[in-house]
């Protein structure tokens, strides 16, 4: 009797090359956009699948993992995996994979672009033109902050933090950083980066404060009202890490009261919802979680997750699957 083919649930449409690869190895079921952002929808079907390729917005909870009696692996279409109850997965011998490294360059480019958009008021200036208000060059129109000679403070000096630092150095910025562990001296020298020992010191001395850290118990609401109180009034906040690292309401109030000068935000505390005060905040560029949104990167993310799934389903040893958590 032929062995039954494994079944994989992909919670949302992803690049076709990834889907074609997976279809060569298993029966594939692809959810509609947003369908599996609800735990109840996942609970209704998860017991039918041997593998799950999910998004950061997919709630892979204890209940889901306990009901997934056939699950062998959960692969996240993301570097982060705070949406997955990893402890429960391990207790059920369900492998968990993420997609590190492949989105570093795209996110480094994006962070630099986001910073430029905020400091030079791209959104406001474009709206001004589209609204028919542009009548000619203005000597005081949309003045922004030059980056040369300014200090970029990075919280989280991993691969993406370092990629942003490399680009900022090319713009003539000075680099300081805080990290859970100090990076090796040769990496500091390559970036001409200075280490500081606390978030508060970094926040109070940076012209631009960038968040490039994972979401953990220690980083939840790391940036809150107390931090906005000590940031220079001309400073800019950039967040492409995880939404809950920032207290969103506190950020909105800091912008409305000019405690800081602007923000570039790609991730949100209650994603996909955005705090209404933030939606009306001045000089704030808000984008829908697109830091890794290039054709090349999204396909690479998918292939890394897909290869982990196929490797586990084929019974390969864990040491041969580099992106298992």
Whether 242 is catalytic is: yes
Tokens of 87: 């402890």
Closest by Cα among 161, 100, 46 to 304: 100
Whether 289 is catalytic is: yes
Judged by phi (left if over 0) then psi (alpha if -120 to 50, else beta), residue 101 lies in left
Q: Which helix (H) or strand (E) is 209 found in, with range? A: strand 208-211
Which residues neighbour 217 within 8 Å (Cβ) at sequence distance 6 or greater?
none
The DSSP line for 63-89 is HHHHH-TT--EEEESSS--TTB-HHHH
Distance of alpha carbon 229 from alpha carbon 196, whole angstroms: 19
Strands 7-10 and 27-30, sheet pairing: parallel
Contact by Cβ (8 Å): 83, 57: yes
Closest by Cα among 299, 282, 302, 312 to 77: 302
Distance of alpha carbon 95 from alpha carbon 234, whole angstroms: 46
Give how far Cα 224 sits from Cα of 160, 228, 245, Å: 23, 6, 9
| Catalytic residue selected from 242, 275, 298, 307 | 242
| Catalytic residue selected from 120, 159, 169, 289 | 289
Longest dimension (CA), the chain: 80
Tokens of 279: 């939606």
User: What sign has the CA pseudo-torsion 273, 105, 212, 319?
Assistant: positive
| Catalytic residue selected from 39, 188, 271, 299 | 271
Strands 51-54 and 73-76, sheet pairing: parallel
Half-sphere exposure of 3 (CA within 13 A, CB side): 7
Determine how many CB atoms are found less than 10 A away from the CB of residue 315: 7
Residues with catalytic roles: 242, 271, 289
């Amino acid at each position: 009797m032929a062995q039954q083919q494994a079944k994989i649930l992909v919670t949302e449409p992803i690049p076709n090359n990834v889907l074609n690869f997976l279809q060569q190895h298993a029966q594939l079921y692809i959810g509609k956009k947003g369908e599996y952002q609800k735990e109840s929808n996942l609970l209704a079907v998860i017991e039918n699948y041997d593998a799950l390729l999910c998004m950061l917005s997919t709630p892979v909870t204890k209940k889901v993992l306990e009901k997934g009696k056939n699950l062998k692996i959960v692969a996240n279409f993301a570097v982060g995996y705070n949406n997955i109850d990893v402890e429960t997965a391990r207790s059920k011998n369900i492998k968990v994979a993420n997609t590190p490294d492949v989105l570093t360059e795209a996110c480094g480019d994006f962070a630099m672009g986001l910073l430029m958009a905020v400091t030079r008021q791209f959104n406001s200036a474009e709206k001004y033109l589209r609204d028919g208000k542009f009548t000619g060059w203005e000597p005081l129109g949309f003045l922004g902050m030059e980056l040369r000679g300014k200090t970029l403070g990075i919280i989280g000096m991993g691969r993406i933090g370092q990629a942003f630092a490399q680009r900022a150095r090319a713009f003539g910025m000075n680099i300081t950083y805080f990290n859970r562990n100090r990076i090796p001296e040769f990496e500091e020298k390559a970036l001409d980066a200075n280490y500081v020992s606390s978030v508060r010191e970094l926040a109070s001395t940076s012209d631009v404060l960038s968040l490039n850290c994972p979401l953990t118990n220690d980083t939840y609401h790391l940036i809150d009202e107390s931090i906005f109180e000590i940031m220079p009034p001309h400073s800019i906040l950039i967040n492409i890490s995880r939404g809950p690292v920032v207290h969103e309401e506190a950020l909105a109030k800091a912008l409305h009261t000019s405690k800081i000068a602007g923000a570039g935000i790609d991730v949100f505390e209650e994603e996909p919802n955005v705090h209404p005060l933030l939606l009306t905040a001045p000089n704030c560029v808000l984008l829908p979680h697109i830091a890794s949104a290039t054709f090349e990167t999204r396909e690479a993310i998918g292939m890394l997750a897909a290869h982990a799934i196929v490797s586990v389903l084929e019974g390969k040893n864990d040491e041969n699957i580099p992106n298992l958590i």
